[in-house]
Amino acid sequence: MDTVYDRALSEVGDNGLFQKKFDLVYNIVLPFFWMMSYNSLLFVLATIPHSCELPEKPRNVSELAWKSKYIPTFQDTIGRSKFNDCSIYINPDVNNETRNCVKYAYDKTWYESTVASDNNWVCDNELYVANVFSISRFGEIAGALIFGWFGDVYGRRMTYIISLALIVVGRIVSLLGSNYFIFFVSGALVTCLSTWTVVQSSYIISMEMSAPDRRAVVTTLRNTSLSVGMCVLPLLYWWLRDWKILMSITTSSQLLFMFFSWNIIESPRWSWISGKIDDCIVHLQRIAVTNKTTLSPEIENEIRRTPPIGKIQSLGVFALFTHWRLATHTILQLVISLIVTLTYTILLFTPGEKSGGNPFLEASWQAFAEFPGYFLGALLTERIGRRYTGAISFSISALMWTIVAIRENNSNGWIQSHWVGTSLFFTNRLFITSTYYTISMFNMELYPTCLRQSGISLGNVISSGGAAIAPYVLYLGRHVDSRWPGLLLAGVSLVGVTSYLLLPETLNAKLPETIEDAQNFGKKYTLLSKLSLRKQEDITVE
């Protein structure tokens, strides 16, 4: 049964010009620039191919012969001979005694500079890169807990403004203190405290003032824009070549949005749920003006007379675990979020880890896989439902990681070819993107309005944990066994398949408003059922 707010929103327009203009700015333009700012840290931490600095080479000696004289070699897991990146012969004319590099020579074919090359975060200091990335992700964990609760209690708009300010301040600290680990990582930590709540807050506002049949459209627009940003970012770095210029430009875009942040509307649904009736009416009238409609006096009076059906919960994310069904749905979503982000983050690292060619083109090409991934996700979620789309996508991802693991210990020329590796990672990126799209829909549709931002932020907490683990999974593959990352990710992908199948279907379902709605959601659900809009409405009003 529709609430008075639903009737009011329908009257002022839930799919009009206001929603479309809002989506253009906050679900297309903002995510594009935000993604470049957010992931710039990943690219500027890239480790450039390096070796010990060699004595000056005589003119009559080739580069290879001179390097072979001074740099020791080793055999990898499939018997290929490679130069050691971190050691040099002390006196090659006398014996084979080696020492660690004193100075490094960096291959500047693709990069002029990165944070790692400027600070020599290689070899014995290699973990500095992983630590910066992981600490920043733990910042996301703390920030998601704080700002998820903050957004549900104090509003989406205020959360958006504060989050933008922290991004700008944090990036400036990292830029100015880049020569000192403690300053650089502190800036990264401040940036990541609230970084995801920028696009999350605007996304929630859009979903809460739009018609149910616009959810897939809004999600597709937002995710496609994020993917475009991911495609453009490596190409921009390739052109600029200097990490400080890249970070300065991407941060400037967030500074511009911060200057105009006063113009963003607060979610009228949140205002109504939180008891801010006057604010709710003001926001609805603002929508009506742009949509060339009116809010009738009768509906306005009914809004004022009717108490909201729920209120903001002071328990925050803990309220998501107050009922076994709501807790089960929350835990399953968190498991999926962890696996998706762990897989996605490792895929982001693969152009630098595995590419034998241009790492920028490889990164851009793999990011391009997100476009068909999102559209495939949008198509399948509307045709076969959210559950089966996620389960199928995770199954294919598990298969791709299994082949990757087999490939790591196979010396056959064709399976080691560049095109095979690119195809595997492209296909994996496509289907993990479809999985991400699906869990985004579940997050919006299973959490109640009064706890929606808290629930999504809790997912960001767990996701950040997955991202923080990713560098160490890659470290395990580099220093223990190169097959381990593929086998590990194949296994956790199968856990993701099971988690999706245990969630209730939400296709065309009415958004739960209160904790009670969320507790009853899926009450008549069975493992093989695909709930219709009518069935979900029956469950909601019980």
Q: Identify the CATH number of the domain in which residue 500 sits.
A: 1.20.1250.20
**Domain around 101:** 50-106
Considering the domain boundaries, does residue 349 fall inside one? yes
Look at residues 70, 88, 106 and tell me which one is the last residue of a structural domain: 106
Nearest Cα residue to 126 out of 85, 186, 179: 85
Considering the domain boundaries, does residue 18 fall inside one? no
How many domains does the structure of the chain reveal?
2
- For 89-125, b where at least 16 C-beta lie within 10 A, e where not — what string? beeeeeeeebeebeebebeeebbebbbbbebebbbee
Strand partners, 158: none
Considering the domain boundaries, does residue 239 fall inside one? no
* DSSP symbols for 529-541: ----HHHHHHHHT
Considering the domain boundaries, does residue 326 fall inside one? yes
Look at residues 86, 106, 126 and tell me which one is the last residue of a structural domain: 106
- pLDDT one digit per residue (tens) for the chain, 542 residues: 478 888 999 999 989 999 999 999 999 999 999 999 988 988 898 888 888 988 888 888 888 888 888 888 887 655 667 888 889 888 888 878 888 888 998 888 888 889 999 999 988 888 888 888 888 878 887 887 788 778 888 889 999 999 999 999 999 999 999 889 999 999 999 998 887 789 989 988 998 898 877 877 887 888 889 889 988 999 999 999 899 999 999 999 999 999 888 889 999 988 988 888 999 999 999 999 999 999 999 999 998 887 765 554 445 677 788 788 888 888 999 999 999 989 988 887 776 555 456 888 888 888 888 888 888 888 888 888 888 999 999 999 999 989 888 887 766 665 666 667 778 888 898 999 899 888 888 887 888 877 777 787 778 778 877 877 887 787 777 777 778 888 899 999 999 999 999 988 878 777 777 777 777 776 665 555 454 444 444 443 33
The pLDDT of residue 279: 93
Strand partners, 75: 81
- The SS3 call for residue 10 is helix
> What crossing angle do the helices spanning 215-240 and 243-259 adopt, rounded to 10°?
140
Going 160 to 165 to 168 to 171, the CA torsion angle's sign is: negative
Angular region, 180: left φ>0, alpha ψ -120 to 50, beta rest: beta
Look at residues 106, 128, 153 and tell me which one is the last residue of a structural domain: 106
- The SS3 call for residue 88 is strand
The secondary structure of the chain in percent helix, strand, coil, rounded to multiples of 5, reads 70, 5, 25
Considering the domain boundaries, does residue 85 fall inside one? yes
Considering the domain boundaries, does residue 201 fall inside one? no
Considering the domain boundaries, does residue 211 fall inside one? no
Distance CA 266, CA 264 (A): 7
Q: Give the pTM.
A: 0.73
